[in-house]
Amino acid sequence: MELVITDSAAEAGVLAGRIMADHVRRGARAIGLATGSSPLGAYRELIRQYREEGLSFAGVQAFLLDEYLGLPPDHPQSYRRFIRDEFTAHVDFADSDVHSPDGNAADIPAAAADYEQLIAANGPIAVQILGIGTNGHLGFNEPGSSLRSRTRVKTLTPKTRADNARFFAGDLAQVPTHVLTQGLGTISDAGHLLMIATGTGKAEAVASAVEGPVSAFCPASILQMHPHVTVIVDPAAAANLRAVDYYRFAIANKPAWQSY
Ligand code: F6R
């Protein structure tokens, strides 16, 4: 695992975007996208590179981590709509190449299995960008999620629903209680896991995920079991880490030939 502490949240987003762009330029067949606020800076950097540097997503398949159950697909907070509004509609992604679990399916377990099959048929996902919940969730794998789980329905914790109420005009009643999410096993199949966390609200979760025990109670601690992980944090999100000096030293002395 490589831990990068940037000088600012803006810099963290640009670096995450650059890393994703490198995968696309190297010929990634599929990339994994997250929603929420954490990846927005990375998406802005990808849009900038598309407009100014010829980065193209033509032929790349994109897979979202998760989707709320029961929100109409055109609801502004459905993740299907969110990712188009914030990212994919601003670049040359074909709409039909952007995939998400079907949170409106009549048969939810079948929709979960279909999503797994779609990823398997189009993968492997070269790079998966990830945020982290204040309770350590990854995707919507809430504390207690099996470390080998696959795409399935999950019940959101009250904490996650409260955290996400800001996207629903602060109205907790509007936040769905259930989601379809890639499992921790599904996420772990990606070649490179790229987690971005900024702000003091994430400091405790980041420290648990990176330096705490591997535990289903901190789902993001599954990162410790993956061979290629980059965690990008700003100073606020790094505040509870113990080995900050070492992380900074390792990046300052990163061999010139070694990419992220
Ligand atoms: C989003 C997702 C979640 C978020 C997490 C952090 O697709 O799967 O794990 O990454 O809840 O959300 P933000 O970035 O809004 O703080």
Q: In this predicted model, what pLDDT tens digit does every residue of 56-66 receive, in sequence order?
A: 999 999 999 99
Nearest atom (ligand 1) to Cα of 202: 16
Residue 237 in this model has a pLDDT that exceeds 90: yes
Across all residues in the chain, what is the average pLDDT?
A: 97
Class of the CATH-defined domain 2-234: alpha beta
Q: What is the mean pLDDT of residues 72-84?
A: 93
Q: Which of 98, 135, 137, 181 has the most ligand 1 atoms within 8 A of CB, as the residue to mutate?
A: 137
Binding-site residues, ligand 1, Cβ < 6 A:
34-38, 65-66, 131-133, 137-140
Active site residue 53: no
Dist CA 4 CA 39 (whole Å):
15
Residue 73 in this model has a pLDDT that exceeds 90: no
* Candidates 102, 137, 189, 192; catalytic one: 137
The pTM is what? 0.98
**Which pairs from 140-143 meet CB under 8 Å and 24+ separation?**
140/65, 140/66, 140/179, 140/181, 141/181, 141/183, 141/184, 141/187, 141/219, 142/219, 143/216, 143/217, 143/218, 143/219
How many angstroms separate the alpha carbon of residue 257 from the centre of ligand 1? 32
Residue 72 in this model has a pLDDT that exceeds 90: no
